[in-house]
Homo-oligomer: A and B are copies of this chain.
């Protein structure tokens, strides 16, 4: 087995890059800008260039590179075909084949970025001790990834792990970005929590420290809840209740060993975990009640770790 590999986490603004040993040690990480001009035609060229340059810089021969894994912000089929990544300007083509050719034949494996981050946490992060886990990323939206036996479950149309669109409210009148109503994302994403806060504060004149905070975002809600603000606590509790409802249904389907909570909102830390865990254990089917709920530990590096794991 070769000694090195690369994990790339491609986003619409930058691509995070990691050089790893095949034992999983991160040797070096860096970023390159994502050039989305001309339908993103230069993206893979630039990525192959940064990989080849790093190999030269470190004196690593091509036959000492096990492969290059890459997380892509969009759906990727099992055989590496991407299907319209709007943030990159890409259409439909085989990203594995194309990047491999640019790298002189080095093996390339691609996956969806949310799934790849889940794989990273499962390999070297919060779920490293668990063989099955579901990661829920609470960011601007809510994403996720399902890992069974240390592998990503993609789903037949690449839509497995679309945790944010689990329906948790059947009476919602506002529409989610996906066009449905009552999706988890409408309550547990950073945007969703801010929305809950605005709705709650507009309900009546209850005193709350949140009324003086600008911007009224998810961080403010959890910060004030921790300080004991009653209204902030109520909003945080509601968001956590919806998240627990989402975890309840996931556990009936998959019964994973652990849930990993990541993304910006997870910076609320143990307060968030405790709130979610308490509610999950009230709602969960009895056979699923001991599922671990843990905070992600790799932060923004989850994607490069997962991408590296893709090729191992």
Contact = CB atoms under 8 A, between A and B. Distances in A.
Interface of A: 75, 130-132, 134, 146, 148, 153-163, 165-170, 178-180, 245, 248-257, 283, 285-288, 290-291
Nearest to A248: B167
A156 B255 contact: yes
B166 A255 contact: no
Given A155-B254, A253-B250, A254-B254, A165 B245 contact: no
A287 B255 contact: no
Given A148-B153, A157-B287, A163-B252, 11 more contacts: A130-B156, A154-B255, A155-B256, A155-B288, A157-B255, A157-B288, A159-B251, A160-B253, A162-B287, A167-B245, A178-B286
Contact of A180 (B157, B163, B283): B283
A255 B162 contact: yes
Given A148-B153, A170-B170, A249-B249, A160 B254 contact: yes
B158 A255 contact: yes
A288 to B, nearest CB: 5
A170 B244 CA distance: 12
A245 to B, nearest CB: 6
13 contacts: A148-B148, A148-B153, A154-B255, A155-B254, A157-B290, A158-B287, A160-B254, A162-B255, A163-B253, A166-B248, A166-B253, A178-B286, A253-B253
Contacts of A153: 148, 254
A169 B290 CA distance: 23
A179 B146 CA distance: 28
B252 A156 contact: no
A241 to B, nearest CB: 10
Interface centre among A153, A155, A253 (most CB of B within 10 A): A253
A134 B253 CA distance: 9
A71 to B, nearest CB: 18
B253 A286 contact: no
A75 B146 CA distance: 22
Interface centre among A153, A159, A251, A283 (most CB of B within 10 A): A159
A170 B169 contact: yes
Contacts of A287: 75, 155, 157-159, 162
Nearest to A83: B287
Contacts of A154: 255
B159 A252 contact: yes
A132 B160 CA distance: 11
Contacts of A130: 156
